[in-house]
Structure formats: C-alpha cells, structure tokens
Copies of this chain bind each other. A is one copy, B any other.
Amino acid sequence: MKKTENYFVIGIDGGGTKTVGALANLEGEILREIYSSSTNPNKIGFELAISRLKNLISKISKNKKIKIAYLGLAGGLERDEEKREKIKKELQKFFNFPIVIDGDQRIAFRAGTDERDGVVVIAGTGSIAMGWKEKKEAISGGWDWLFGDQGSAFWVGKEVLEEIGKALDGRRKSFRLKDFVLKRFKIKQEKDLYNKFYSQNFITQVASISKIVDELARRGDFFSKKILIDAGKQVSEMAIAVIKKLKLENETFPVVLVGGMFESQIFKKKVEKEIKRISKKSKIYLIEEKTSDWSSKVSV
C-alpha cells in the first residue's frame, strides 16, 4: 500500500444556483458528492458564503486525509484576487490542508479539453467567456445578475417577465409564451407574479423560465425563438471579445461551451455560428454538465 493511497482531493464548483462539492481519490475517482445552495457572495453576502463553504468542506473532508481542496466559485472572483485571498484566509482558519480559490471558469475549461490555451464560454444561470493564451488571460461578461449575465438563463427569464408584466398591464399585446409561463407557474392573478418571483431564491426561479422558452421555441413559437437568438448573440459577443483580446482569430484553439443554456439547440447554434464567423479554425466542444468530474480533474 502506497502512502498516497490514503490521501484525497476536494473539488468544489460554486455556480449561480447551486454548489457541488466532491471528494476524489488521487486517481480522480469520485467517492463522495455533496450539494449545497448558492455560495455566490454577490447574492447571499460574504459571511453566509463563507459559512456555507465551511460546512460543505467539513462534510466532504470528514474522516479523510485531504491533500488539497480546489474551489472554483461564482461571483466575479475571476476579477478580484483580493477577494479570493480573503476567502482562502477565512477558510484556512478551519482546515489544515491547502485551499485554492479560483473563478469557476477554469474548472469548466478543463472539463472540455486537455489543452492549456483556449476559450471557455459559460451560459448557465449566469454568463461569461474567459480565455488563456500563453501567460495572458482575458475575460468578458460575468458581471453577475444585477448588471451582467446577458444571454444567461436568468437574463432570458428576466426579459420574459418584463414582457409579461407589460402585457398584463396594457403596455403591449399579449403573446403565447406569456400564457404558457403563467400556466406552468400556476399564476392566476397578477399578484401571484410577485409572490412567485420575489423570493430568497429569485435567481434560480427566474432562470427556470428559460426552459419553457426553449420548449415553446421548439414548437415553432416566433417570440420564444427570437429571445433565444438574442441570448445567443449576447453570449457570443462575450466569446468574440475574448478571442480578439487574445488575438486568437486566425489560430487553432479549443472553445469549450458549458452550461444549461446550451441544451437549447437554437441558442447553441447561434453561439457557434457567431464564433465560427470570426475564428474559422476554432474547435468547438460542448460538454455535458457533470460538475464533480471537472472538479476532480482540476484538483488532481
């Protein structure tokens, strides 16, 4: 029995909606997987984010010797080294193994490719593009739910809710998607619209509308299709900005697409088309969302 066989790694992926923690052995096999609610400090505040992460790591590391814990977190951390250091410092008070804090983009990129350089485009609850070329790094999007995340599931849901509100109070014509959404959410009176969407959980709740939009778009609804194409355009603008900043236009490099929005074919096609338009030699990979696989891959 080798000494290293007793050691494990922890990978944590904090998305806009949920946080997934995984325990893996040094071969990358997942042994334990624990889910938690959002740990995005922009949504729940710094204190609560730390407390949830602490609890999650405690549960995962229980009775195990941990070699390293790798945390890829949402909430604009990719732009804020200071905040990453602060989170690390807070958590390090409770655990004696090394903790690495990163944005959640690298985890996603690693899940799609073994190459070092390339671009990742995330369109889930939130949206961002990030790329690496040699020692250079570029970001576009990811300003989070309040004034960013264009083209994300949250953004799509919010656009739809705005139009529903306008139709309900006489500022615009009614539309099929409106009736569809109201029915699915069992909204019978205007006031139910507040009660369903203004909640602790509003980001997830609003984002869930995007699935209904895709469903109706697939049935041919013009309005729903248009929103998904708009969303695709918004997200591809993020990707294109990164490609241009890294001067990748004429190079061969992987573009990894990740996130629930890519389950929509209309959205996915729009993003692919726009990216291919400015970088013909890019190779686009779509990955299935299976967070713990990525986390262990990065950790090991």
Chain A residues within 8 Å of B, Cβ to Cβ: 41-42, 45, 75-76, 79-80, 82-83, 138-141, 143-144, 146-148, 150, 158, 161-162, 164-166, 169-171, 189-191, 193-195, 197-198, 200, 202, 206, 237-238, 241-242, 244-245
* Residues on B with beta carbons closer than 8 Å to the beta carbon of A162: 143, 147-148, 150
Tell me if A146 and B237 are in contact (CB < 8 A): no
A143 to B144 alpha-carbon distance, docked (Å)? 21
Tell me if B140 and A147 are in contact (CB < 8 A): no
Tell me if A83 and B148 are in contact (CB < 8 A): no
- The binding surface of chain A is classed by DSSP as helix
Tell me if B146 and A158 are in contact (CB < 8 A): yes
Beyond A79-B194, A146-B198, A147-B161, list 6 extra A-B contacts (CB 8 Å). A41-B198, A79-B190, A80-B195, A143-B165, A147-B164, A150-B162
Of B45, B82, B194, which contacts A42 at CB under 8 A?
B194
Known interface pairs A146-B206, A165-B147. Does A80 touch B241 (Cβ–Cβ under 8 Å)?
A: no
**CB<8 Å pairs between A and B, sample of 29:** A42-B198, A45-B200, A75-B194, A76-B198, A79-B189, A79-B194, A80-B194, A80-B195, A139-B169, A140-B169, A140-B171, A141-B165, A141-B169, A141-B171, A143-B165, A143-B169, A144-B194, A146-B161, A146-B197, A146-B202, A147-B164, A147-B165, A147-B197, A148-B162, A166-B237, A169-B238, A169-B241, A170-B245, A171-B238
